[in-house]
Amino acid sequence: MAERIAGIEDGSGGFVVTTADDVVDAGDGVLSLREAVEAANARAGADTITFADGLKGGEVVLTGGALGVTDDLTVDGDAANGGAGGVLLMDASRGEDTGEGSLSGFSTFEADEVLLRVEDLTIDGTGRVTSIGSAIDGYGAVEVVRSAVQNFKGSYIGGVFSSGALLVEDSRITGIDASEYAVGAESSNGMATVRNSLVDGITGYNAVGIGGEGASIENSTIAHVGGEGRSFGVATGDLSMTNSTVADVTAVYGRDGVAGVLATGGTITNSTITGSAVTRAVPGPDDAFGEASGVLVGDGDALVLQNSVVVGNEIDVSGTLASNGG
């Protein structure tokens, strides 16, 4: 395989995918995305995978399960930085399962404690149901740039998940639908940075648009996050949000919390938060339902709100605001 791969490396030593088929066959004379990932894993150091011109704007259908990444890797659908239309990855290996325990096998990309960066790709879950998983499940740093993640469905489902630092830039995450827990983008132990992006249509019994130990959000929209028990457009510790909108965060019951923004502190500047509500779409006594806040700040913490609009929510602000810049 080494000689065949060497023949289809690009000029910088990266790997060029030459077939849309999800195959592993050392004798077929072409390089699949799965083979390219395996080759990159086998070679020490950071690698880049690109796609042959004939695959640009086309579909690569994955049928063999998760793409496991064990070394720093960039997967670039368009070297000209053309955006999410570079290459469409259709994850057709997803399907009904009982899915107890491990996440393994139910995500499109599964990365160890390494850097995984995807550029100019659309990753589509095809609407097939799994119990758990995400488009990208990373235990290190994850970067999603000029890309789209869409159409993932199951019980515990995320668009993009990282245990380390997370960057979503010039991208969109839409159509994440879970019967239990849904999240658009989350960093469990690091900073979630979202720039110039859209997170929309995140639905589950419990749902979060963007989550992180801390979050930095710029020029982005988080909208239509809906659940039954609890829903948060943004749920984080310290928050920096600028020139952004959080809209239409709802839950049927809301007993466990509903808010456009839940944060322990930080600053919101030049932003709009609107449409947080408990819908009460089913009948029940008053104590069966909670209340929704545009901004929910934890007890003893303070959030700075500057030149921003918090309006059209059941309760606009719950908690302590340190400042209102007008």
Query: Rounded CA gap, 307 and 288, in Å?
Result: 36
Integer angstrom CA distances of residue 307 from 217, 242, 318:
16, 10, 18
pLDDT, tens digit, 9 for 90 and up, residues 154-199: 888 889 999 999 999 999 999 999 989 999 999 999 999 999 999 9
Specify the pLDDT at position 304. Answer: 93
What's the predicted TM-score (pTM) here?
0.91
Q: Which three-class secondary structure string do you get for the chain?
A: CHHHHHHCECCCCCEEECCCCCCCCCCCCCCCHHHHHHHHHHCCCCEEEEECHHHCCCEEEECCCCEEECCCEEEECCCCCCCCCCEEEEECCCCCCCCCCCCCCCCCEEECCCEEEEECEEEECCCCEEEEEEEEEECCEEEEECCEEEEEEEEEEEEEEECCCEEEECCEEEEEEEEEEEEEEEEEEEEEEEECCEEEEEECCEEEEEEEEEEEEECCEEEEEEECCEEEEEEEEEEEEECCEEEEEEECCCCCCEEEEEEEEEEEECCEEECCEECCCCCCCHHHCCCEEEEEEEEEEEEEEECCEEECCCEEEECCEEEECC
Q: Supply the mean pLDDT for the chain.
A: 87
At residue 176, what is the residue type? I
Specify the pLDDT at position 85. Answer: 81
Give the residue from 199, 203, 223, 187 showing the smallest Cα distance to 153.
203
Q: Which parts of the chain register pLDDT below 50? A: 1-7, 96-105, 325-326
Query: Rounded CA gap, 35 and 28, in Å?
Result: 12
Specify the pLDDT at position 242. Answer: 99
At residue 171, what is the residue type? S
Specify the pLDDT at position 98. Answer: 39
Q: How far is CA 19 from the centre of its chain?
A: 27
For residue 146, the tally of other CB atoms under 10 A from its CB is 22
Give the residue from 112, 161, 114, 113 showing the smallest Cα distance to 133.
161
